[in-house]
Amino acid sequence: MQVKVKTPAKINLTLEVLNKRPDGYHNIQSVMQMIDLYDYLTIDVNDSDKTEIILSGTSDEIPYNEKNLVYKAAKLYIDKTGIKNKQIKIFIEKNIPVAAGLAGGSTNAAGTFYGLNKLFNLLSKEELHELCATLGSDLNVCLEGGCLYATGRGEKIEPLPYRNYSVSLIKPLNLGISAKEGYTKFSQLEKKPELDMTFKMIDSIKVNSDIRQFLHDDLEVAVFNDYQELQKIKSMFPKSIMSGSGPTYFVIGDIIPEIDGYWVKNGLQFIPSGVEEYELLLK
């Protein structure tokens, strides 16, 4: 059995950090939007005398072992459903930059849950969301897709109306910023932003007015002064906003020229979907 799943990137139209939780995560409020920049997962399942998960892919920046969120998702699905004596091979075609604030790992993991369930059909959508919530903060958003209001650590979601915008991305080529770094530096800020942009953004989306005036990312405020690469992006594109923990920035409705030392992607669109089947081959 084989299925191919396309797993889209996400951007944060807003990201506001509320407080630190007892479990070490932070409570947030955020408007997240999926865009049509995709990784592709090819999942092959065959009978075997044991249960094993084998990862491979096109990127040399990610591990192909139990540290990968795709591996963890596959193991969670196996443990939850009791599948036995299956060899599960997953090939990851990476197009979303790694450690970029675009939920590349999370969307791959959500796509793994989705793809395995396409093949085995053992869990409900609600049960898939429960698995997503146990594994990471953005997985539920990637599974559900479209435009979403996310709270908790990002796993509690409410759908918002879909609006069609074009978007361009820019990221320093040799810079990655982890979520841990972003949230740690935010907690160290003496003066934290209190703009309440998330609810202004939600109101704007609901009445279909221009959302660009409400774009905001608390984590950008936290890491901005530490990286000249981010300062260069902002000076060249003042309307750009960082996504998540960065270092990717995006602009809505504008084109970004090619710049030495930076990865640039133009011509992207907001999409109303999340992870979804690209091709199903039952054999």
Active-site positions read 10, 138
Q: Which residue has the tokens 């630190």?
A: 20
Q: Are 118 and 1 in contact (CB under 8 A)?
A: no
The DSSP H or E segment spanning 241 is: strand 241-242
The DSSP H or E segment spanning 3 is: strand 2-20
Q: Give φ, ψ of 228 to 5 degrees.
A: -65, -30
User: What letters, b where the CB count within 10 A reaches 16 and e where it falls short, cover 17-38?
Assistant: beeeeeeeebebbbbbbbbebb
Q: Is 187 helix (H, G, I), strand (E, B) or coil?
A: helix
